[in-house]
Amino acid sequence: MLQVAEEKTNEDASQMIASTALIDLRGVSKVYGKGQAAVQALKGIDLRVPRGDFVAVMGHSGSGKSTCMNILGCLDTPTTGEYFFEGVAVGKLSRDQRALLRRHYMGFVFQGFNLLQRTSALENVELPLIYRGLPIKQRREKAREALAAVGLSNWEGHTPSELSGGQQQRVAIARAIVSNPQLLLADEPTGNLDSARSKEIMELIVQLNRERGLTIVMVTHEPDMAAYALRQVQFLDGQIEWVQTF
């Protein structure tokens, strides 16, 4: 059962519910702005993601898929409805507890890699472990293991400018998995890559899902990338238009 922080009170613990899903969105809506300027980005969506699932989230710009991802990553909160992560009512957590949930249970991969340009691959991968307070010897060991898992054992001393786009995304994936998260959130992970590198990255993501049982939710607008997933969820005008399982 998820423990967001060691200081979690009994009252917080009582918020936990039994759930077979890692992610459970129930009637989630999100409204930005007020009055006539209000925009309803999500309109009461329900979405369950079991542990070990690989879901591709699709939809045109403005469909609500990015808002959904921000809520899943605890970067935003619903206006109405409930979000449960491993049975925890996320909306009842404090901002600090949501930050701890992100830090300990989630990994993030972005289209733009988001690497520190003057920092080596190894040091980039270490960053999440620094925030968790791990001693240097332990975090170096874990960072090397993560780089090995993405096929970059011999590149740990290179800076991003010395790496190809595909290699940079591999470093970003290593950084996302170094803390052994339960959920990987990937936002257009192949958006800046050519077709050959895109295929390599998707095969790596599939490997992480199959071999580690890592739950993955990926936003993409490319059907050929979405085809790697176990399920596809199509958004349209703030609602889930359809779900397809393969």
Strands (E), the chain: 21-32, 39-50, 54-58, 80-85, 88-89, 106-110, 183-187, 215-219, 231-236, 239-245
**What is the Cα–Cα distance from 136 to 14, expressed in whole angstroms?**
36
- Provide the token pair at 163: 């790496």
**What is the Cα–Cα distance from 67 to 43, expressed in whole angstroms?**
11
Mean pLDDT value across residues 141-163: 96
pLDDT over 90 at 108, yes or no: yes
Mean of all residue pLDDT scores within the chain: 91
Which residues, 6+ apart, have CB-to-CB distance to 155 below 8 Å? 121, 147, 163, 167, 171
Query: What pLDDT does residue 20 have?
Result: 64
5: pLDDT confidence band, cut at 50, 70 and 90? Answer: very low
pLDDT over 50 at 148, yes or no: yes
SS3 102: helix
216-246 residue pLDDT tens: 999 999 999 999 999 999 999 999 999 999 8
The residue ranges of every structural domain in the chain are 51-76+95-245
Amino acid identity, residue 33? Answer: G
* Strand bridging mode 21-32 / 80-85: antiparallel
pLDDT-above-90 percentage for the chain: 89
Closest CA to 84 of 57, 46, 41: 46
Q: Residue 19 in contact with residue 87, Cβ under 8 Å?
A: yes
Q: Residue 106 in contact with residue 74, Cβ under 8 Å?
A: yes
Mean pLDDT value across residues 140-160: 96
Q: Residue 20 in contact with residue 47, Cβ under 8 Å?
A: no
29-71 residue pLDDT tens: 999 999 989 999 999 999 999 999 999 999 999 999 999 999 9
Which residues, 6+ apart, have CB-to-CB distance to 38 below 8 Å? 31, 32
Homologous superfamily assigned to 51-76+95-245: P-loop containing nucleotide triphosphate hydrolases (3.40.50.300)
Query: What pLDDT does residue 11 have?
Result: 41
Residue 75 φ/ψ, nearest 5 degrees: -95, -10
Query: What pLDDT does residue 4 have?
Result: 55
Closest CA to 175 of 121, 230, 131: 121
pLDDT over 70 at 2, yes or no: no
Taking CA atoms, 175 is separated from 7, 32, 84, 122, 165, in Å, by: 27, 32, 25, 9, 15
* pTM (2 d.p.): 0.90
